[in-house]
Structure 1
Amino acid sequence: MEISFTGKRALVTGATKGIGREIAKQLAKCGAQVVAIGRDQTHLNTLKQESPLIETICADLSDWNATTSALSKIGPIDLLVNNAGLGWVKPMTEITEEDVDSVFAINTKGLINVTRIVSKNLLARKAPGSIVNLSSQASLAGLMHHTVYCASKGAVDAFTRAAALELGPHNIRVNCVNPTVIMTDMGRLGWSDPKVAEPMLQKIPLRRFGEVQEVVDVVLFLLSDKASMITGSCLPIDGGFVAC
């Protein structure tokens, strides 16, 4: 199945590394004009070197006004991937106000703000659009010491459904994907120890973690016209984790 985004402009947040970076590069390979947003200018520069046609913007999505300003002259966007995310492992009794604010500022507030900006432009142009939010299996099942992260991703799922309801009549689709542990550089670092990985693997029927390309492929499908009847969905990419 071939997917083409020729003539489309795509915005990808959290595009400096990992899943977001690969989504941006693959969208460009499929013909989209890609705008990549991230907080690290050095990583954005290397992305630009790898894919010279990608436009880059350095911005901190946790800052509502700064993000609005950075995107004020971005031009028309047809496809949006809200990939930027933040989280860590910490017992609930040790959570601080700063922990909650920082995670929700990126995972939830920043995602809502970028979606608001892109949707407003789509509606003004009366143009169809497709939005994919990167959620997590942590929104569908409780994970030990992930309380704040789980809460922030649960909010992403709820926002996805509500936004799909509101934007559907305007032919703007909104979906999210919910990956399990994915073998990014960070994923390999955190889950390379068998003592850490094995308990999680035992909960995944396929008995393995996901690869970056397996998330990229699903995101591109949902963005494309091949998924023209899919909106408001939260699609696990988890090897069957939530089936258990």
Structure 2
Amino acid sequence: MTVAASLTGLTTLVTGAGRGLGAGIARACAAGGADVVLVSRSAEEIERGAAEIRAAGGRARAIACDVTDLPRFAALVAEAGPIDVLVNNAGTNVPQPFTDVGPEIFDRVLDLNLRSLYFATQAVVRAMIERGRGGSIVNVSSQMGHVGAPNRSAYCASKHAVEGLTKALAVELGPHRIRVNSIAPTYVETSMTAPFLADPGFLADTLHRIPLGRLGRVEDVTGAVVFLAGPGAGLITGTSVVIDGGYTAH
């Protein structure tokens, strides 16, 4: 089976698919043959993304949903029909010194990065178990799920938790033939990272920490998602694919 056809016949749901990495993942999964369901709060963005995929010959539909709205997401799972692959990409980061982080910011980061991911996965997994055909979960974590960094205490906490959850679910869901893995990218050039990378000092320090000497691009990440989602990764579960240019190798 070629990579180009590796997801043929599989329905893949991607959260946070309106822009940046999520939109790129949706396009890559469609190029791999998947029927893609794009999910985001912004109906306009995902409708445009789904239209672009269809124009390129793929299959895609858009369903607007705030993933932190748990009852709405559970209803969405039923609306979307059988899901073979879930890519948990929705996330946020609000960098602040640890001593400045208040409950509101902490809750905002953990609610989207961890709580919504936990219960979105639960809703999809319940349907997967009922179908009895197995499936694949790919959690978009971060290199910050493996290391620490200043001004990112809430973000690091959420992503370390995602890495632990990935391992726990891989063990628990393995008997149901549901694989659970994560990807852990470095700084990828997207609208979310643009404000940080606009700081020349931060950018220089970041590039100094990456042995390959460059930031990540969306296309550096999408191939790993397609691989982990598909049958070529049939014996891979409970692992994290670190896509960081060597950042965490120090």
Structure 1 and Structure 2 fold alike (TM over 0.5): yes
2:48 paired residue number? 46
Contact residue 108 and residue 155 of structure 1 kept, 8 A: yes
Q: TM-score, normalised by structure 1?
A: 0.95
Deviations 1:61-112 (A, max 9, x none): 1122222233233211001100000111111111111111111111111111
1:34 paired residue number? 36
Contact residue 82 and residue 127 of structure 2 kept, 8 A: yes
Q: Does 1:174 align with 2:174?
A: no
Q: Does 1:234 align with 2:240?
A: yes
Alignment of 1:139-218 (within 5 A): 139-218=145-224
Paired residue total: 244
Deviations 1:154-199 (A, max 9, x none): 1100110000001111211100011110012443443144322111
Residue 45 of structure 1, CA deviation: 2.2
Consecutive unaligned residues of structure 1, counting only runs of 5 or more, are none
Cα 1:26–1:160 shift into 2, 3 Å: same
Contact residue 205 and residue 240 of structure 1 kept, 8 A: yes
Shifted more, 76-85 versus 28-37: the winner is 28-37
Q: The residue matched to 2:172 in structure 1 has which SS?
A: helix
1:15 paired residue number? 17
Q: TM-score, normalised by structure 2?
A: 0.93
Residue 43 of structure 1, CA deviation: 0.8
2:26 paired residue number? 24
Q: 2:102 aligns with which of 73, 96, 103?
A: 96
Residue 3 of structure 1, CA deviation: 4.0
Give distance in 2, aligned partners of 1:135 and 1:240. Answer: 16
Residue 226 of structure 1, CA deviation: 1.2
What is the CA RMSD across the aligned residues, in angstroms?
A: 1.4
Consecutive unaligned residues of structure 2, counting only runs of 5 or more, are none
Q: 1:133 aligns with which of 127, 133, 139?
A: 139
